[in-house]
């Protein structure tokens, strides 16, 4: 993951670069608006951390040109002002989030991670296995062209199985990812949900995609005989 920081205050810029490098990102730092714009347009960045008040070209100008040239990477604005107008202006111009200075690095990191996750999930719009399709944007599932209605939990469960296609997912992992809870061996909520999901997406169709791996968990995969 590659991040561009555009920040003219040397201390803040260095501090951000160091922190993001230590968090495992590849980082470029530009110290004024024009340099930042040049890098943003030429480099392949997954996210930009953009200060508003910059020499040569301010953050608004950078963002406007970046968006006009069709770049859609998430942009996190850093602003020393906390006026509502500035935030609205930034969001109007296509910023994805903003942070008011001074801020804790941990907060910046949390925002960066959230924006990157969001960016990634938008890249893949449809998950597929055989003739089963899950449309992430429209929240729709179909198999062999037939629309299937799922509850929110069933949808989340199927999304997880499709994302990890071919991997056996232990019940404990499914519990933490879909139900946001620790696995309690007394509960059969996962088995019940998988059974319901199978009735909807597997029973009326061939081949069967969801398989129970005894003593281990569940896997979604296209059977090898095909």
With CB under 5 A as the contact rule, which of the stretches 51-59, 85-93, 186-194, 200-208 interacts with Ca ion?
51-59
207 preceded by a cis bond (ω within 30 of 0): yes
For the chain, the farthest-separated pair of C-alpha atoms sits apart, in whole angstroms, at: 64
Q: How far apart are the first and last CA of the chain?
A: 36
- Kindly indicate which of the ranges 44-52, 118-126, 183-191, 214-222 contains the residues binding Ca ion, using the contact rule CB under 5 A: 44-52
Toward Ca ion, which CB reaches closer, 12 or 172?
12
**7 burial level (CB within 10 Å; 0-12, 13-18, 19+):** buried
To the nearest 10°, the Cα dihedral for 124, 125, 129, 130? -130
221 lies in the binding site for Ca ion (CB under 5 A): no
CB of 68 to Ca ion, least distance (A): 23
- Cβ of residue 201: shortest distance to Ca ion, in angstroms? 52
Q: Which stretch binds Ca ion (CB under 5 A): 50-58, 59-67, 158-166, 217-225?
A: 50-58
Confirm or reject binding of residue 53 to Ca ion (CB under 5 A). yes
The torsion defined by the Cα of 26, 30, 34 and 38, in degrees rounded to 10, comes to -20
32 in contact with Ca ion (CB under 5 A): no
Site for Ca ion in 4-23 (CB under 5 A): 8
Does 99 contact Ca ion by CB under 5 A? no
């Amino acid at each position: 993951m590659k991040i561009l920081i555009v920040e003219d205050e040397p201390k803040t810029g260095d501090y951000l670069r160091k922190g993001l490098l230590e968090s495992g990102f590849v980082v470029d730092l530009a110290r004024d608006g024009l340099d930042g714009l040049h890098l943003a347009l030429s480099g392949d960045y997954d996210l930009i951390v953009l200060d508003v008040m910059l020499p040569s070209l301010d953050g608004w100008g950078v963002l406007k040109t970046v968006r006009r040239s069709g770049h859609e990477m998430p942009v996190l604005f850093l602003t020393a002002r906390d006026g509502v107008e500035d935030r609205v202006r930034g969001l109007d111009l296509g910023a994805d989030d903003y942070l008011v200075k001074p801020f804790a690095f941990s907060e910046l990191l949390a925002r960066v991670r959230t924006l990157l996750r969001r960016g990634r999930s938008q890249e893949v719009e449809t998950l597929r296995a055989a003739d089963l399709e899950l449309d992430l944007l429209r929240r729709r599932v179909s198999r062999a062209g037939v629309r299937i209605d799922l509850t929110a939990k069933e949808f989340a469960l199927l999304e997880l199985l499709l994302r990890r296609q071919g991997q056996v997912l232990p019940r404990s992992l499914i519990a933490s990812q879909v139900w946001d809870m620790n696995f309690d061996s007394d509960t059969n909520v996962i088995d019940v949900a998988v059974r319901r999901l199978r009735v909807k997406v597997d029973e009326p169709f061939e081949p069967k995609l969801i398989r129970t791996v005894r003593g281990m968990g569940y896997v979604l995969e296209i059977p090898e005989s095909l």
